[in-house]
Amino acid sequence: MGVDIDLLVKRYMAIRHSTLGMYNEIDRAIYYLSDLTGEQILWKAWRISSGYRHDIALPWDRRINNYRISPTGVIAFSTDMDGDERWSIYTYHENRLELVSGEDGSINNLGEWSPSGRFLSYSSNSRNGVDFDIYVYDFVKRSKSFLYKGDGIVNPSRWVNDDLLLAIKMNTYQDTDIIMINRRDGSEVNLTKHEGEAVNRSPIPIDEKHFLYITNNGEEFTGIAIYDLEKNSWKYLVKERWDVEDLDYRDGRIVYSVNEDGESVLKLFSFEKREPIEILRPGGVIDNIDFTREGVVLSINSPKHGPEIFITDLSGFLERVTYTPKIGVSEESFVSPKIFRYRSFDGLELSGLFYKPLRSFKEPPPAVLYLHGGPESQERVSFNRVHQVLLSLGIAIIAPNYRGSSGYGKSFIHLDDVDKRIATVYDS
């Protein structure tokens, strides 16, 4: 009996996902984004004796791409219209929806709530349609105010306190700075001035004098640094042989993920012991980390199950929270890749991912060479619908990370710049 290719493809394209899991201390529920209804909206899950009970978190049927929950339980979220990516920002509290910014053709990027839950930061290009400025929304007064005039792309990040906001200023894709803006007078200071090219991002205040952040200043790979606001100085806490990609902090401990050859590894660093400990390897990519009093909520995108939400107690045990439907397709049929290495024409060592089908109509199986996009991207160990369709048909996938790919250090990412681009063709 032949395979109905059209029906097979439709089944895989209809696979749903769950992502961006966060714990809400107010109602003790795990929130997440899922396209279970056909559109990506906000859901939440409560723990019950038999697992988790799930429900829609707010009355909204347009796509939501980001959200933040304040310390007082107010939900702020960004949404667009028919996939136009012109994000507008709303709040939802006590069954009341309110527009913060947007619905006028501008692009508005959600920031963070201040520690008190009164102020919400966001950036918007409403001034001229090109440059992003930073605004602050006062939830108590239900009013917004202009804070910082941007030149290019600048996005608000975490607050040190209700008056001091940290933001990320993009110089280039591989060069960013962390600036601190005073909410009261709009004054700004660049905290991470540097020479050469360096990424400085993901600041997380641990008190009003210090914050953690990810940087590769002076190094090939990103690590974790700590900044002292009183001394205006910084130092590395964690250096890895691969890029640190995400982190969160709670009670003297840092949970972070490392991009090890395209696959995430979860690690723990405590200020008491000062030695990183490997916690687990989920067999995929950790897209988000939320370190809470109930455990660490992880958003994991894996070829084994697609994007789903998990929670761990840091013992290495990983509990799955979501089981997003995959109608007509079994997760047991999904294939995870093997990492392989090879040398290119000039002796440069490269790596890639090889997916071997569980069954094939001939040996060796026919193969598709898959080249990831860019600029500055990487083939990761994550779920790809097209890959899995081809694998189900007995076709192997070869996905190299050629020179110029991200994830292999500063120098490697520039190996395909300008007139060196042709070398990438030879790599493949």
Does residue 6 belong to any structural domain of this protein? no
Q: Are residues 393 and 362 in the same domain?
A: yes
Rounded Cα distance between 217 and 200, Å, is 8
- Report pLDDT for 424: 86
* CATH code of the domain covering residue 391: 3.40.50.1820
Q: Are residues 234 and 153 in the same domain?
A: yes
Q: Are residues 237 and 284 in the same domain?
A: yes
- Report pLDDT for 418: 83
Identify the domain containing residue 423 by its residue range: 331-427
Q: Which of 290, 320, 350 marks a domain boundary?
A: 320
- Report pLDDT for 142: 97
Say if CB 59 and CB 50 are below 8 A apart. no
What is the C-alpha end-to-end distance of the chain, expressed in Å? 36
Which residues on adjacent β-strands are paired with residue 270? 253
Provide the number of structural domains found in the chain. 2
- Report pLDDT for 208: 97
Tens digits of pLDDT across the chain (428 residues):
468 999 999 999 999 999 999 999 999 999 999 999 999 999 999 999 989 999 999 999 999 999 999 999 999 999 999 999 999 999 999 999 999 999 999 999 999 999 999 999 999 999 999 999 999 999 999 999 999 999 999 999 999 999 999 999 999 989 999 999 999 999 999 999 999 999 999 999 999 999 999 999 999 999 999 999 999 999 999 999 999 999 999 999 999 999 999 999 999 999 999 999 999 999 999 999 999 999 999 999 999 999 999 999 999 999 999 999 999 999 999 999 999 999 999 999 999 999 999 988 788 999 999 999 876 899 999 999 999 999 999 999 999 999 999 999 999 999 998 888 888 888 88
Say if CB 329 and CB 16 are below 8 A apart. no
Can you give the length of the chain in residues? 428
- Report pLDDT for 1: 47
Q: Which of 288, 320, 352 marks a domain boundary?
A: 320
Q: Are residues 126 and 165 in the same domain?
A: yes
Closest CA to 404 of 380, 421, 383: 421
Phi, psi of 410 (to 5 degrees): -60, -45
Sheet bearing 164-172, strands edge to edge: 154-159, 164-172, 175-182, 188-190
Does residue 390 belong to any structural domain of this protein? yes
Does residue 7 belong to any structural domain of this protein? no
Does residue 9 belong to any structural domain of this protein? no
Q: Are residues 311 and 366 in the same domain?
A: no
Q: Are residues 312 and 340 in the same domain?
A: no
Say if CB 79 and CB 87 are below 8 A apart. yes
Tell me if the pTM is above 0.75. yes
The SS3 call for residue 411 is helix
- Report pLDDT for 425: 85
Q: Are residues 235 and 165 in the same domain?
A: yes
Does residue 107 belong to any structural domain of this protein? yes
Cα–Cα distances in angstroms (integers) from residue 404 to residues 34, 149, 196, 342, 420, in the given order: 33, 33, 18, 16, 10
Cα–Cα distances in angstroms (integers) from residue 293 to residues 23, 35, 157, 267, 333, in the given order: 9, 28, 22, 17, 36
Q: Kindly state the greatest CA–CA separation across the chain.
A: 73
